[in-house]
Amino acid sequence: METKLKDFVSDMKDKIIKASIESIKKEGLRFSVDSLANSLKISKKTIYKYFPDKESLAIALYEKIFCDAFEKANALKKQSEATAQKELLHLYFDCKWMTRREIFNKYKLNKTIYAYVADKINSLWELIAASFDNEESEKTKETLRIIIDGSFEKLCNTGLMPDAVIERLVNLL
């Protein structure tokens, strides 16, 4: 009986986290705990039973995002270079999209969460950058990151789809 209860709690937490990620992707800055509860057909109180505040939900959400991202990035690095580079840049863009500043400002997420996210983005970048060319100098890698981050920041601000930009970046690399 106790195992079933633990499984139920774990399943509910996972559903809330996955729905939160999907809601932020779809709704962006319109995302709210109310809309999340409505999409899951549960009460807001139920969400707060599993996550006592927005910060707890945000931590769980970003842990899931980055756990999945690192798992996928490591799998992609084993594929052919051309396919992997494009997919790795899409993965990096998706993480940048989910961690853009206006999300943190809108939801007033704390500095601890922002520091966690910044650290994970840096680690993900290191993993991705290593797939482009291991011979590059640190200065070249920094330059590459500035170009890619600048492109992705512009895409996040305009809301345009990243496909054409990523395709062009891969061709340039």
**pLDDT tens by residue, 109-140:** 677 888 888 899 999 998 888 877 656 677 77
Give the span between the Cα atoms of 64 and 14, in whole angstroms: 9
- State the pLDDT at residue 170: 85
Give the span between the Cα atoms of 11 and 3, in whole angstroms: 12
With contact defined as beta carbons under 8 Å apart, do 37 and 47 qualify?
Answer: yes
- State the pLDDT at residue 4: 59
With contact defined as beta carbons under 8 Å apart, do 45 and 7 qualify?
Answer: no
- State the pLDDT at residue 106: 60
Q: Could you give the C-alpha distances from 161 to 60, 109, 119, in angstroms and in order?
A: 27, 26, 25
Give the span between the Cα atoms of 76 and 128, in whole angstroms: 10
Q: Could you give the C-alpha distances from 163 to 54, 85, 90, 96, 169, in angstroms and in order?
A: 32, 13, 8, 15, 10
- State the pLDDT at residue 101: 73
- State the pLDDT at residue 54: 82
pTM flag (> 0.85):
no
Per-residue pLDDT 10s for the chain (173 aa) are 556 555 556 788 999 999 999 888 777 767 788 889 999 999 999 999 999 988 888 889 999 999 999 999 999 988 867 678 889 999 999 998 888 777 766 656 677 888 888 899 999 998 888 877 656 677 778 888 999 999 998 888 887 888 888 988 888 87
- State the pLDDT at residue 3: 64
